[in-house]
Amino acid sequence: MSLSKSKIKYIRSLNEKKFRNEYNTFVAEGTKLVFDLLASCRCQLIIALPSILSAHPELKAEEVITVDEKELKKATFLKTAPQIMGVFYRPSPEIEKIDPDTQLSLVLDGIQDPGNLGAIVRIADWFGIEHIICSHDTADIFNPKTVQATMGAIARIKVFYTDIIDFLQQQSHLPIYGTFLEGDDIYSAPLSNNGFIVMGSEGKGIGREVEKLINRKLFIPNFPEGRATSESLNVATATAITCAEFRRRAKQDFF
C-alpha cells in the first residue's frame, strides 16, 4: 500500500496545534523515538521503509504502511527524512497521581522555545524526575520540534498543563524552589528530595505571581565570583545544573 495524498496531508497537518488537538494525535520521527513511544503510547499509524519493517515484524499500529524515501520526504518535518515515522495518540496523564510529598517535580512557567522544552524533558528523564507541570503558555509538548528534541524521553516523562498559580497555591506546605539572582547559593543551601523546582521563561524568567508562591529561592553562582559574565543562563542549562545538584545531594543523603 502506498502513502496517499490524504495521509500525507493528515500527517503534515499535525505540525499545527489546532489539528493535534482536533485529532488528539502527534508525530514522532526516527527509529529510537518511534520505538521508545511504541512501548508507552497507542500508535495510530506507522510509515516506514521496507528494510525497517522486515527487520522489525513486531511493530504494532492500527495501520502500517510501507513507503519509499520519496514518500517519507513528503511527510517528514525534518531536513533529512528518517527511515520511519509514527502517529501516536496523545497520552492523558492524571495530575492527581503526582505525589509531591515523596517526589521531586519540575514546574515550567512560560517556556516558549520547543527546543528548550524538549531539552528539559530529556534532563528530567536523565535525573529521574518523572513529572513536569507546565503553565498554559508553555510550548506544546507535542509540537514535532519538541517531540524530536526529547530524544525519546517523552515516552517516560509525564507532562501536564494547568494553571500553575492555582496548582502551587495548593502545594504551599511543600518546598517550592526557584532560581533568582538574590537567592541562596545552590551549592550550600538546604535541598529536599521532594517538592517542586520552578523554572521561568527564556526572556522574562519566573513571573511575579508565581514568584510569590516560591518559598525557597536559589542562586546558581558564576565563577569566579565578581567576574563580569553573561546576564543569565539558558533555561535548559539552568535546569540541568539545578537538577544535578538536587540529585547529588540526594545521593549523599542516601549513603
H or E element, residue 176: strand 176-185
- Count Cβ atoms below 10 Å from residue 214 Cβ, excluding itself: 21
CB atoms under 10 Å from CB of 88, counted, come to 25
pLDDT of residue 222: 85
In terms of Cβ atoms closer than 10 Å to its own Cβ (0-12, 13-18, 19+), residue 39 is exposed
Using the predicted structure, report yes or no on whether residue 23 has a pLDDT greater than 60.
yes
Ranges of beta strands (E only) in 4-120 are 25-29, 43-48, 63-66, 84-89, 104-109
CA distances, 162 to each of 96, 167, 171, 215 (Å): 12, 7, 14, 20
Per-residue pLDDT at 1 exceeds 70: no
Q: For the segment 80-102, what is each residue's pLDDT rounded down to a tens digit? A: 999 999 999 999 888 888 888 89
What are the angstrom distances between the C-alpha of 176 and each of 1, 11, 98, 124, 173? 53, 40, 15, 17, 9
Q: Are 127 and 247 in contact (CB under 8 A)?
A: yes
Instruction: Please state the rounded mean pLDDT for residues 216-245.
Output: 87
Give me the pLDDT at residue 228, please. Answer: 67
What does R_g of the chain's alpha carbons equal in angstroms?
A: 20
Provide the pLDDT for residue 97: 82
What distance in Å separates the CA atoms of residue 59 and residue 57, rounded to the nearest whole number?
5
Residue 255 has pLDDT above 50, yes or no: no
Q: Ramachandran region of residue 2, left (φ > 0), alpha (ψ -120 to 50) or beta?
A: beta
pLDDT, one tens digit per residue, over 125-173 is 999 999 999 999 999 999 999 999 999 999 999 999 999 999 999 999 9
Q: How far apart are CA 235 and CA 110, in angstroms?
A: 11
Length of the chain: 255
Q: Over the stretch 43-73, which tens digit does the pLDDT of each residue have?
A: 999 999 999 999 998 898 999 999 999 999 9
Instruction: Please say if the pLDDT value at position 216 is more than 60.
Output: yes
- Calculate mean pLDDT across residues 168-192: 94
The structure's pTM equals 0.92
pLDDT at 190: 95
Cα angle for residues 117, 119, 124 (degrees, 5° grid): 95
Spatial separation of the C-alpha atoms in residues 163 and 170, rounded to whole Å: 11
Lookup: cell for 54 = 522486515
Q: Return mean pLDDT, the chain.
A: 93
pLDDT the model gives residue 100: 85
Q: What is the pLDDT of residue 119?
A: 97
Half-sphere exposure of 210 (CA within 13 A, CB side): 24
